[in-house]
Amino acid sequence: MAFQEEGMHYEGYCIRPPSEADSILLQVTVGCSHNRCSFCGTYTDKRFRIKDDGIILEDIRWASRHLSREDRLFLMDGDALIIPQKRLLWLLEQIREYLPNVKRVGAYANTKSIRKKSLDELKALRERNLGILYYGIETGDDALREAIRKGSTAATAIEAGRKVKEAGILLSATVLLGIAGREHSLRHARATGELLSAMDPDYVGALTVMLIPGTPLYEDYVKGTFQLPDEAGILRELREMIAHTELSRGYFFSNHASNYLPIKAKLPSGKQRALEMIDAALRGEIALKPEWMRAL
């Protein structure tokens, strides 16, 4: 197979977590293995598949020539953990061989892909530098999870998250502000805080839901059956979520570009300071991010 000197092979629109901004971005799957969430339009133009090993290896070799000093690598697209264990081990071994400076590999994960891996299999991945998984939780409210088509319950999500942590892999849980609409906003916030407390991830990243044309959630918005909370409503939801989140030792972030108020709180010690900051914003003492600056 010819080596592609001009760059890596990327297909379609690709995303990565904010914390992976400086990482090598290696696309090993196309799309998302679940791809049914009602709010997500990221992978609607892609049918899920695992990329050919030859293409992946070619990209790793390209990175070894041009990005050899980078110490982190992120596996795209939506759910690289779904790759069968034997192939995933091979992939991590190639990264270790060609990119010896890479000390941590990260990937997105979902409940299905985590449950498919045994604890021993996750530990084997950790031994090959899979150091962090980004897990889309969205909400701890089971009625809402069903409505947004997550395909799993809060209990199974907690079980999956705990298994990741037991394997020694860092766990970053993503939650969605505004996804419950106005009517159930605080119920969603409390249930999500309770889920996070039971799961005890290393990091929590809160995003604010963005209405994307073509998604079922956007259609509900157009029909008037879904109403997004206003700025104050989103802040109250964030406050309620943090107030109900008890982490043994972790960070709660709302620094994503979609959010109105960036927060970085180390829990449990920084919880009160975070709540006070939100209260100040609700009183108008802290400026919020203008609408034109918000994006996914």
Q: Give Cβ neighbours of residue 290 (< 8 Å, ≥ 6 apart).
A: none
Kindly tell me if the per-residue pLDDT of 252 is higher than 60.
yes
Measure the CA–CA gap between 83 and 91, rounded to whole angstroms: 10
Q: What is the pLDDT of residue 33?
A: 85
Q: Which residue has the tokens 């990264």?
A: 95
**H/E run at residue 106:** strand 104-109
**Tens-digit pLDDT profile for residues 195-210:** 999 999 999 999 999 9
**SS3 state of residue 78:** coil
Portion of the chain with pLDDT greater than 90, in percent: 83
Distances (CA, A) of 102 to 8, 20, 153, 159, 165: 17, 13, 35, 29, 21
**SS3 state of residue 265:** strand
Chain center to CA of 147: 19
Q: Hey, what are 173's tokens?
A: 């849980």
What are the φ/ψ torsions at residue 27 (nearest 5 degrees)?
A: -85, 110
Q: Which burial class, exposed, middle or buried, applies to 199 when counting CB atoms under 10 A from its CB (0-12, 13-18, 19+)?
A: buried
Q: What is the pLDDT of residue 78?
A: 82
Measure the CA–CA gap between 19 and 106, rounded to whole angstroms: 10
Q: Which residue has the tokens 């005890």?
A: 200
DSSP code per residue over 228-260: ---HHHHHHHHHHHHHT---SSEEEE--STT-S
**SS3 state of residue 275:** helix
Mean pLDDT, to the nearest integer, of 45-59? 92
Q: Hey, what are 242's tokens?
A: 């943090």
Residue 130 identity (one-letter amino acid): L
CATH 3.40.50.200 fits 18-293, yes or no: no
Q: What is the pLDDT of residue 296?
A: 63
User: pLDDT category, 221, cuts 50, 70, 90?
Assistant: very high
Q: Hey, what are 134's tokens?
A: 């980004």
**SS3 state of residue 207:** strand
Measure the CA–CA gap between 156 and 153, rounded to whole angstroms: 5
Domain regions of the chain by residue span: 18-293
Q: What is the pLDDT of residue 175?
A: 97
Contact between residue 215 and residue 38 where contact means Cβ atoms under 8 Å apart: yes
Kindly tell me if the per-residue pLDDT of 5 is higher than 60.
no
Helix pair 185-199, 231-243: axis angle to 10 deg = 30
Mean pLDDT, to the nearest integer, of 235-249? 97
Q: Report the chain's mean pLDDT, rounded to a whole number.
A: 93
Mean pLDDT, to the nearest integer, of 58-71? 96
Q: Hey, what are 271's tokens?
A: 């919880």
- H helices, E strands: number in the chain: 10, 10
Kindly tell me if the per-residue pLDDT of 45 is higher than 80.
no
pTM, two decimals, is 0.93
Mean pLDDT, to the nearest integer, of 123-134? 98
Q: What is the pLDDT of residue 15?
A: 84
Q: For the CA atoms of the chain, what is the radius of gyration?
A: 19
